[in-house]
Structure 1
Amino acid sequence: MTTRIFIDGEAGTTGLGIRRRIEAVAERYALTLLSIDPARRKDPQARQELMAQADITVLCLPDDAAREAVALGHGTKTRFLDASTAHRVDPDWVYGLPELDSTQPERIRKARFVSNPGCYATGAIALLRPLVQAGIIPMDAHISINAVSGYSGGGKALIEQQEAEGGPPFFLYGLNLQHKHLPEMTHYSGLTRNPLFVPSVGHFPQGMIVSIPLHLVSLPGVPMIEDVTAALQAFYKDAQTIRVVESEPKLAADALAGRDDMELRVSGHSGQALLTARLDNLGKGASGAAMRNILLMSGKE
């Protein structure tokens, strides 16, 4: 059976990435894209008409616009996959990270409302959730998270700035420590207090590293690096797109650019550990994750 998909906001970076992925596998998975007339892409009636035709509507919109789009499609039978931050901790929406636990893929398959995870949150949750569940990291631990992303995640204005001659090589942002990914990081990691999260952008288009330092000697039971690694390996032993790999002396943030998988590592010595997640901010961190959720929602995986 053909699955009809409408991308509301397909002209943006994430929307274009999703569109390319759908086109690449459309015949194999019987997927059909419904496209809006560019002149009517902001016309509520035209959008509603396409939602009424679509089995799945993918929202690649700012948060407020995404909420408005869901209201617009209320009278239709379309299912929603929202790539914005608007619904990620909403209890009526299923979080679109299949690796969250063994039941999550089936929950995504059955849900009408699915929220696509944030790029930073994907790396942080992948590292923290297994260790919180294993009791290695207490739920009330004080956690610090640092991350660097390619500039493509910042939208059109930042892309233009970075691609112009003299674009800044590196900058920190979110220095009020209230980044919009924090709620989902905390909630789905199983923590009871917000981590201290410091994001940054480097002068490269795509790629990301999320890093979390741990003082193992301050954790209950004083776990070894091998214990931390074993907990991650056990959690992801059957995962399709997340791999626990060996530590390396250095990591390039853009090494997985163009790919939809993620690498986790545990490095360190003498009671100190560094957890790292490396992914493509537009792949596993955005469009690639959405593509897998589309396949799950359409019953093709």
Structure 2
Amino acid sequence: MSAAARPSTRRSIVVTDDRARLTVYTDGPAHAGVTAILSHGYLMTADAWRFQARELSARGVRVIRYDQRAHGTSEPGHAALTIDRLGADLAQIIDATTPRGPIVLAGHSMGGMAALTLAARHPDLIRRRNPRIALISTACSRAQLAPGHHPLHWVKAAVRASYSYPLCWMPPAADVVRRRLPSRHPWSLLPEAQHRDDVPPPGRQALRRTPTGQIAELWKSLRTYTTADQLHALDALADRVEIITGAVDDWIPLSQTRELARQLPGARVHEPVAGAGHRLPTDRVGHAKVTQVLSAMAEAALRASESTSSTCLRGAPA
């Protein structure tokens, strides 16, 4: 895949079936041979993929990033905020932005859960598009407060519970506090704030327009989510599915990564990235591994597509 000058990021809107307006950012050539569609995690924005978007688009890959509903500049829509809904959003993003051609899907954390839900609820799309899928720091089972059984893990669980439960059960009170926070605080609530640039807002602005009740609704879904024993559509993809995680991830522990690997016995499981935590796409030591894997997957998708096209041409009647 030859390197190409990266066009500027283009911003567009995909309107879902429940009228949510999802903000989409496109990098790279419009008519590239392969498209990478990147789905970010909880309380983040499409900016989480900035390193990968820059590198992949420079290599001639078309890159689609989007703000999940109720994150960044995307609207919450009218449907319940659940992981199932995010999986349906991903299906509609694929159909709206990349109706044909080879694709690489990458999901980080909650974005990976959206990809797994897509496979569980929309197996026809998986069979039709035959994508390559990167599951990054994600799980097929519910989010956990405690990442393990070490005493330090229970301390972390207590700290997480101390703010997650008030958010879930007293969202109006939390909104009052959030409106009084300094505007630069990542939890400040500034629903009138508008992000006017074509590039995604930074992660610290992920929740500026999101009331606490919507954040809590999605967190409750994360706490009950599972796609275990529902991923048969991915069996045929085998090693087209790749699993990547950080060795010191304290949100999705290695036990959950191993369970995901058991659910997908044909998947390629990478060695955990030493010294890397949960936010692998932007992690100081982990982002290069994510970029390397996605670049290799895009190269493989393009080679497979070119090989198929060549075979079809040779078999065509003169």
Question: Which protein is richer in helix relative to its size?
Answer: 2
* TM-score normalised by the chain length of structure 2: 0.34
Normalised by the length of structure 1, the TM-score is: 0.35
